[in-house]
Structure 1
Amino acid sequence: MADTLAGTAAAPEYPMARAAGCPFDPPPDLTAQQGEGRLVKVRLWDGSTPWLVTRYEDQRALLLDPRVSADITRPGYPLQTAAGGENNASFILMDDPEHARLRRMVTAPFAIKRVEALRPGVQKIVDDLIDGMLAGPGPVDLVEAFALPVPSLVICQMLGVPYEDHDFFQENSRILIKRDAAMEDRMAAHGRLITYLDELMGEKTARPGDDLLSGLVERVSTGELSRRESARMGVLLLIAGHETTANMIALGTLALLEHPEQLALLRDTDDPKRVAAAVEELLRYLTIVHNGRRRAALEDIEIGGQIIRAGEGMVMPNDLANRDPAAFADPDRLDLRRDARRHIAFGFGVHQCLGQPLARMELQVVYGTLYRRIPTLRLAAPVESVPFKHDGSVYGVYELPVTW
């Protein structure tokens, strides 16, 4: 009976809206559901009613459970848009063993030791961009002048993508992560990126370099990958490699400007451990992937006192789990002294973010440099006028006017 009632039209719609004046907090209706301490069904754009999993421990348990599938083609999988993506699914939307086989092909460049070797180069990129801002007139849009270029330059170097094409891939990436973009626009944007990466890999077939895309081309030549698979992987790495970190840089900066006592803790330290801890807390507090981890049950699963039946979908908003008071004391408070290392901003289990070592390193360099070099950094417009990405599956701001 409870299952039947939960699946009626009374199910709340997901995603939910944030409260006015609380841009850093999860939607209050989501928080209220978590306070109930139970699972509830929600209604998606297509009328389907997957389970909303609100609690931190429940999400971790399900993301580790082999009975839970990330395969977008499974019955009951809660699709984000009408475009779906079944024909263009990357390995993050697959299950093992195929997921593991494809993921292993791109794991090595994101290993911690390999990423740490990139730190001096990232530091130079950050310093050069700050030099450019300081040398020019203010105010500036921090997104355009700094937050987007930092990860874009880094991922272009890693992949072997010409940075001069950044306007093209950034614009098409924005379309793909915009929740309310028309299906035709999303499919066209994905097609343009696939064609671009396919042509680029064709060039690398003739003239391979010491970059990640050249490594994928080699996999194609040995028959381990199809050309189409390699292009899809290239699109995933290119989008994920710049969009998420760019949004964390800008949104994290805004959060710190709105919490000056916390900003002072970063600005006044050169201790790498304190900077690293601050990065983890900002990741927990903001958790910018806001579309919820989507999964489908392969078997009946009991969780939180509820039975999720085989073939039913699940939505797990990690941003809500990272604000669970059972996991983090006073979770709605930004506290850079907090030990937030157990957050799940990068997901959890076998599908957790491949690029998290790179993202962490980039954020450590940015947060450890920007505010010390520009100690008077401040907003150049009222926070109420800042355009937030309420329409995006990756949260952030479209612009961030700052001065000093």
Structure 2
Amino acid sequence: MTGFTVDQAITRAHRDEWARLVADLRRRFGDLDVAEEATAEAFAAAAERWPRQGVPPNPGGWLATTAARKAIDWLRRESQRDAKHQAARIVYDDAPPEPTGPVEDDRLRLVFTCCHPALAMDARVALTLRLLGGLTVAEIARAFLVQETAMARRLTRAKAKIKAARIPYRVPSAGDIRERLAGVLAVVYLIFNEGYLAGEGDDPVRVDLTDQAIQLGRLLRTLLPGDGEVAGLLALMLLTDARRPARVSPTGELVTLDEQDRGAWDRTLIAEGNALVRERIAAVAAGGDPAGHYQLLAAINAVHDEAASARDTNWSAIVALYGRMALIDPSPIVRLNRAVAVAEVDGPGAGLAEIDRLAEVLDGYHAFHAARADLLRRLGHDNEARMAYDRAIALAGNPAERAFLFRRRAQLAG
């Protein structure tokens, strides 16, 4: 940690160690509340002590030891376990290891535990985002487009459900993995999205989260090499992350796809992502399962990344791909993205007509108002565009995105 301030050291340790600590404590002590509380208390202790005592040579080891001690203290206070037995485990670490089965990584094992079928899908995703990704309740609420208080209640109910149903922390069998895979993929993608354009905070891009999501995607790919949606999700994240170097300007403003310097894109990631897309196309053509949500999103991003410039983008292909996606996922977000593509093919008026049909369900979503503002601007309806930009700015939490929206609004006539 040489060269880092204390705050930077704590932030980096949180990025590197949060998920590992929660997963390890969950495995060792068998309780999600214990794991989360002890990990949070360990970071609170670091925030208190490191400014006075200095950052330890091995921050991860310091946090692991502190978190384990906090877990023992927590269990003693709550009288939930035999504290002496747990203390012996932490001191000697000689308890027989749990069988690893098909999942070798503690973090993935934690994901599959949180994605148990006894939980509702939204609860599985939210709980895993909190325990694995260390996202705040506010960040998770933004990902779900719900109020923070509602998300806090959802997380509490999810953990209570796990405890009441006595859902075990165990290595999933092959059947369990298949059953829980949809929730796992949703977790990984939401973590990636929160990193790629952070909902709040000073950093518009949180590389820790995007890197973690890609790492989990690679692990899933190793675990299930023949699954099309696993390959599709990994391809999607690689093709999207390849554009990250051009995503934010030196002044901290979001750079839209049509304005990005395509020479700054990571061609190695693009090649890897395109190879996965081609693999899935060949598999479907050979009689495999039809392309799913993530495979179609990956194909859309491959079209973007293959275009030498924005004007060379094959928007008709993108409209067709979103049309296929709407058949399997007719969500408002998919319909919004298709409307944006329609505007590129049939003109901003056609796109605006489709977007306006989503006003009731997406009124609280900043990207809806931003897309609507852009089409109104292109149509010359500056007064309406200004109101749409104002609404988008009020809802956007990312500083780079807000800077872009402010600039676009300032360019309107009058």
Interval of TM-score (by shorter of Structure 1 and Structure 2): under 0.3
TM-score, normalising length: structure 2: 0.22
Q: Highest CA radius of gyration, 1 or 2?
A: 2
TM-score, normalising length: structure 1: 0.23
Q: Could you say which structure has the higher strand fraction?
A: 1
Ranked by relative contact order (alpha carbons within 8 Å, sequence separation 6 or more), the top structure is: 1
